[in-house]
Amino acid sequence: MKKFALTMLMVWGTSTALAAVELKLGHFASDTHPCGIAAVQFKKNVEQRTNGEVKISLFGNNALGSPPEVLEQVMLGAVDMSLSGQDQLAKHLPFYDVISTPFAFKDYAMADKVIDGEFKKWAEPELLKKGLVHVSDWEWGFRQLTNSKKPVNTPADLKGMKIRTPPAFAYQAFVEAAGGNAVTIAFAELVMAMKQGVVDGQENPVGTIYDLKLYETQKYMSILNYTYSSMVHVVNKKSWDKLTPAQQKIVTEESITAAKAARKALRDAEAAQLKDLETSKGIVIARPDLGPWKAAMGPAWDKVKARVGADNFKRFMDIVEKSAK
């Protein structure tokens, strides 16, 4: 009897050791986008370093639904982890909209300093209250404006234009403050909406505009860098707790490595993409004086402040000011 029990214990222990933890990762980047490529790197490295004890199943390009739906599935535990936009997180944690305050960041270096530093310390405990573990921040990029009608150099040029935005509060506030009409269209429907002429234009980072071939319908681009978009790698807390501390460390390290790779690839590609858009794709690119745009943002800032709360807005702007020193 003792021999049988010992044998069964050994079999049970072996099967437990061999049983892999499988985690679903949903995101909205295409396979060719730097974040889609970095996700593959993340999967490969995690599986290799854990000796196959942690398996990552990738579902990119909105395979599990729209970005807001995927985040909700993570919060419910139906999906284990996601790369979710800050605007999607803001639906559940309104203070997240502070990141999208128009013209808060002057460049990528400032965005990195804020998001990887003081904002991370602020966000992590708040995300945990929603059952989400913050792992790292990937990148979508600084957002630019495109349209199919005419060059846009000042807010006056945008007046009356219908501009597609995602269901993101701060992006809509920017378009409206600049004089345009914000029209909400889901990311998965963006390309078709452009082809059908449902709207006159849209706003997205250069890499997204290039990757989705929006130059086929959008003939004018204005380089505004009006707000910075990140992809936040979050994990359902119960899914996270399935991992050993050593496995959690590996997942975190590889997520940070993948995030850095995605950031570098996106930023390195921008200059070449802009050149190709201008010389080969027939896009007319404007690089306007940002003074009039910033001057028009009073209503947008007021809307963001009202949504996130005056204290949260001040806290964020203090962080931004500190990072500029």
Let me know: does 232 contact 4? Beta carbons within 8 Å: no
Write out pLDDT tens, residues 207-249. 999 999 999 999 999 999 999 999 999 999 999 999 999 999 9
Q: Taking all residues of the chain, what is their mean pLDDT, rounded to a whole number?
A: 94
Superfamily of domain 21-309: Bacterial extracellular solute-binding protein, family 7 (3.40.190.170)
Mean pLDDT of 73-93: 97
Mean pLDDT of 171-184: 97
For the record, the structure tokens of 138 come out as: 């990937």
Q: What is the pLDDT of residue 323?
A: 93
Assign 62 a pLDDT band (cuts: 50, 70, 90). very high
| Residue closest to 26 by CA, chosen among 66, 69, 58 | 58
Q: What is the pLDDT of residue 180?
A: 98
Name the residue with tokens 């020193």.
325
Diameter over CA atoms, the chain: 87
Assign 206 a pLDDT band (cuts: 50, 70, 90). very high
Assign 47 a pLDDT band (cuts: 50, 70, 90). very high
Name the residue with tokens 């490969």.
44
